[in-house]
């Protein structure tokens, strides 16, 4: 892989842009264009994209139907700051698709939507504390930046984790209002709810924890969450920023048959255009009615171009065909990966659901953050670097989530698994040459 132009651009602009990137989840490689399942960088390298805009690009890059709708919207001259008929139509699409969407309001990013949902939950309950899952990422604001990926040694026992700030710059008292629970542990959830009875406004929970790779809910877990939040009169906010529309037309709540009180959607809602939505029960959402108790503002909320992208995207997603295609692709990828791992005698697994997946170098079941972060990070980095050299775009984050789009084909999958096999061979070589101390040579 050539890197000269990207390296030169980083050297030229790295002094004015920290790290040369505008999000810390990106690598300083600079791209010129994208099409379908492919990315093309400034050095002329071509990649099969498995980052897919952090899960947002569900149809593929430059989907022609989305592009046509956006072009039409741009020609109308409407931008934002006023309402249009299209904003009503897209809201109706969401209302009809999502089980929890009695009412709908738009925002721009997942972080914004989560912030607004928490404001509504706190006003509705008159309480301040929130509960979140260890290892879950819900955005970059203060309360969300607690126990995202903490060092286990500083985070307390696995069944009673303590809140740990995940970044500098958040309010010092933030951890006083954020309670942390492990995923897939109903006993820990009920203990926390009972110990803080009458103080918790909301449980903020991602139904599949893609922000620690891919952690599936165990059978009965989500149903238990619904029962306990109702028992303790706590608003359940389901974070469907990633799961939304990938697992089913109505998101994870449709796929698992469990309806929360509120939900937040983003990413795939508009095939990567900056749009998010807060949806939920009418008695909660109505608090944000103009002149009501909760301010809900935003100049760019429901901007015309993003709504046009969403309208086209949701029309495709509502049938369920795309979700079946995504699941079939990652089912096959998981099977092929398992075969390669067995052939090489490695401790590795590929966890997947709904077209999203992650590779973990461990032989343990992945059921919460602690089991996910115990995977071998160094082996993952060797694997990822080898795979990237083969023309597959992957993140260097060993707890990141990867994915495919509707534009990915079986031929793409064949190239991906060939590259993955070479990555596994490199990991096996590293293990063979590891000295007795346990450190690689």
Instruction: Extract the tokens encoding 73.
Output: 């919207």
Phi-psi region of 365 (alpha: psi -120 to 50; beta: other; left: phi over 0): beta
Please report the sign of the dihedral spanned by the C-alpha atoms of residue 282, residue 79, residue 240, residue 166. Answer: negative
Instruction: Extract the tokens encoding 250.
Output: 């109505």
Do 58 and 245 meet the contact criterion of CB atoms below 8 Å apart?
A: yes
- How far is the C-alpha of 249 from the C-alpha of 96, rounded, in Å? 10
Q: Give helix then strand counts, H and E, for the chain.
A: 13, 14
Active site residue 363: no
Position of tokens 């990828």?
333
Ordered strands of the 356-360 beta sheet: 349-353, 356-360, 402-403
What pLDDT shows up at residue 436?
Answer: 60
Active site residue 410: no
Domains of the chain, start order:
4-62+320-432 (3.90.1150.10), 78-317 (3.40.640.10)
Active site residue 239: yes
Exposure pattern of 15-43 as b/e (b: 16+ CB <10 Å)? Answer: eeeeebeeeeeebebbeeebebbbbebbb
Catalytic residue from among 142, 239, 376, 406? 239
Q: What is the pLDDT along the chain (441 residues), one digit of tens a residue?
A: 899 999 999 999 999 999 999 999 999 999 999 999 999 999 999 999 999 999 999 999 999 999 999 999 999 999 988 999 999 999 999 999 999 999 999 999 999 999 999 999 999 999 999 999 999 999 999 999 999 999 999 999 999 999 999 999 999 899 999 999 999 999 999 999 999 999 999 999 999 999 999 999 999 999 999 999 999 999 999 999 999 999 999 999 999 999 999 999 999 999 999 999 999 999 999 999 999 999 999 999 999 999 999 999 999 999 999 999 999 999 999 999 999 999 999 999 999 999 999 999 999 999 999 999 999 999 999 999 999 999 999 999 999 999 999 999 999 999 999 999 999 999 999 998 877 655 544
- DSSP H/E element including 67: helix 64-76
What pLDDT shows up at residue 440?
Answer: 47
- How far is the C-alpha of 353 from the C-alpha of 292, rounded, in Å? 40
What pLDDT shows up at residue 243?
Answer: 97
Catalytic residue from among 116, 132, 267, 316? 267
288 Cβ contact partners less than 8 Å away, ≥ 6 residues apart: 105, 116, 120, 294, 295, 296
- How far is the C-alpha of 209 from the C-alpha of 370, rounded, in Å? 12
Catalytic residue from among 116, 132, 137, 296? 137
Task: Give 256-279 as a DSSP string.
Answer: HT---SEEEE-GGGGTTSS-EEEE
State the chain's maximal CA–CA distance in angstroms: 69
Task: Give 267-320 as a DSSP string.
Answer: GGGGTTSS-EEEEE-HHHHGGGSTTSSS----TTTT-HHHHHHHHHHHHHHTTS
- How far is the C-alpha of 370 from the C-alpha of 155, rounded, in Å? 10
Q: How far is Cα of residue 389 from the mean position of the Cα atoms in its chain?
A: 25
- How far is the C-alpha of 260 from the C-alpha of 281, rounded, in Å? 9
Instruction: Extract the tokens encoding 301.
Output: 């909320």
């Amino acid at each position: 892989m050539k890197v000269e132009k990207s390296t030169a651009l980083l050297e030229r602009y790295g002094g004015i842009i920290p790290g040369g990137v505008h999000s810390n989840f990106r690598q300083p490689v600079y791209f010129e264009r994208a099409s379908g399942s492919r990315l093309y960088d400034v050095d002329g390298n071509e990649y099969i994209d498995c980052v897919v805009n952090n899960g947002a690009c569900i149809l593929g890059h430059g989907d022609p139907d989305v592009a046509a709708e956006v072009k039409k919207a741009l020609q109308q001259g409407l931008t934002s700051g006023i309402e249009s008929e299209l904003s009503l139509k897209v809201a109706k699409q969401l209302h009809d698709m999502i089980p929890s969407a009695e009412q709908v309001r738009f925002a721009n990013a997942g972080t914004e939507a989560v912030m607004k949902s928490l404001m509504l939950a706190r006003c509705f309950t008159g309480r301040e504390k929130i509960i979140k899952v260890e290892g879950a990422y819900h955005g970059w604001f203060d309360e969300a930046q607690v126990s995202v990926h903490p060092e286990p040694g500083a985070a307390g026992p696995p069944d009673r984790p303590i809140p740990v700030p995940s970044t500098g710059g958040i309010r010092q008292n933030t951890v006083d209002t954020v309670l942390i629970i492990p995923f897939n542990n109903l006993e820990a959830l009920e203990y926390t709810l009972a110990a803080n009875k009458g103080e918790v406004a909301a449980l903020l929970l991602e139904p599949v924890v893609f922000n620690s790779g891919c952690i599936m809910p165990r059978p009965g877990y989500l149903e238990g969450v619904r029962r306990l939040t109702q028992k303790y009169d706590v608003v359940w906010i389901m974070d469907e920023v990633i799961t939304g529309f990938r697992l089913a037309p109505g998101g994870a709540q449709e796929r698992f048959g469990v309806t929360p009180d509120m939900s937040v959607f983003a990413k795939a809602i508009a095939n990567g255009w900056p749009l998010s939505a807060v949806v939920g029960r009418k008695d909660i959402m109505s608090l944000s009615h103009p002149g009501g108790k909760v301010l809900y503002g935003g100049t760019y909320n429901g901007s015309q171009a993003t709504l046009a992208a969403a309208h086209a995207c949701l029309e495709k997603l509502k049938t369920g065909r795309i979700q079946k295609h995504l699941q079939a692709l990652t089912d096959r990828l998981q099977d092929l990966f398992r075969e390669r791992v067995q052939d090489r005698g490695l401790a590795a697994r590929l966890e997947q659901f709904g077209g999203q997946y992650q590779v973990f170098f461990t032989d343990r079941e992945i059921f919460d953050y602690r089991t996910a972060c115990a995977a071998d990070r160094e082996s993952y980095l060797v694997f990822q670097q080898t795979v990237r050299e083969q023309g597959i775009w992957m993140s260097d984050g060993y707890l990141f989530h990867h994915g495919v789009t509707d534009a990915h084909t079986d031929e793409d999958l064949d190239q991906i698994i060939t590259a993955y096999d070479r990555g596994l061979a490199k990991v096996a070589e590293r293990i063979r040459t590891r000295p007795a101390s346990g450190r690689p040579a």
